[in-house]
Amino acid sequence: MKKFLSISFFLYIGFVYVIFCITFWIPIFLFVRGENKYRKAKAIKFLWSKWMSSLAGVKLETVFLSKLDLKKNYIICANHKSYLDILLMYQIIDQDFAFLGKSELLKWPVINIFFKRGIDIPVYRDSKTRAAECLVLAEKEIKKGRSIVIFPEGGWENSETEMRRFKNGAFQLAIDTNCPILPLTFKNNYDLFKDHKDFSGNAKPGLAKVVVHDYISVDKLNRKDLVDLREQTFQVINKELKSEN
């Protein structure tokens, strides 16, 4: 019975996504361009996030351990084992930000427009050269005053129960741009909705719990401090992930 309900919910979410594509394709294609493309994209993504999560029966509980200074930009680093992580980020962070997302998202209808228009940045994990180029693009966005969202694990498998070791890119970018790291812990999204290709997994409505931590300053750090910064960020997120809900 549980498996049947999970499969039904997966199919329902797929249907909701198709409706989103039909509803938002023309507004995104027509309006997310020009000088105001970032502001328009932010508004559309927030509306999409609220709409999708409401229809999915997913409510959001966010705890900020300190007040977020919206005048600053950040490199936001979060654990990642569910597509809810992407969906809910637009309700959590009330800033304009660029997602660094896997290049496979270029195949997703409507979502790919944001990457093609320079709102978000595709990451080509099969090429070190192209992966390095995405960090150059991210640095340019930071200089524009935008924040960046990176999932430093670089991917996930449904069978994994622990966070993967973080990759260096986010922390190299933080040091090179002097942009602080903002750790964020998704505590239970994996229990609500995991990889859409695995129908045997969890898929259900519920309460998504999120903790936004104090930011980590990178003032006076250099490349030799990269590993320490990476491990500090990992421990902050992982400690909260392992704590009781």
Relative to beta strand 206-212, strand 181-186 is antiparallel
Write the CA distances from 57 to 144, 167, 193, 223, integer angstroms: 36, 33, 12, 44
* pLDDT of 196 above 60: no
Q: In the structure, what pLDDT confidence band is assigned to residue 78 with cuts at 50, 70 and 90?
A: very high
Q: In the structure, what pLDDT confidence band is assigned to residue 165 with cuts at 50, 70 and 90?
A: very high
C-alpha closest to that of 201 among 191, 189, 214: 191
Which pLDDT value is given to residue 245?
59
pTM across the whole model: 0.92
C-alpha closest to that of 126 among 148, 104, 107: 104
Which pLDDT value is given to residue 109?
83
**How far is 112 from 212, CA to CA, in rounded Å?**
27
Question: What value does the mean pLDDT take over residues 181-203?
Answer: 79
User: What is the tens place of the pLDDT at every residue in 126-164?
Assistant: 777 877 889 999 999 999 999 999 999 987 776 677 899
Range of the domain at 193: 2-242
Most confident of 15-29, 126-140, 228-242: 228-242
Q: Higher-confidence residue: 86 or 13? A: 86
* pLDDT of 224 above 90: yes
* pLDDT of 108 above 80: yes
Q: How many domains does the chain have?
A: 1
Contact (CB, 8 A) for 243 and 213: no
* pLDDT of 171 above 60: yes
C-alpha closest to that of 166 among 239, 241, 231, 218: 231
User: What is the tens place of the pLDDT at every residue in 213-222?
Assistant: 999 999 999 9
Which pLDDT value is given to residue 35?
84
C-alpha closest to that of 18 among 55, 61, 69, 72: 55
**What CATH number does residue 154 fall under?**
3.40.1130
- HSE-up of 28 (CA within 13 Å, CB side)? 24
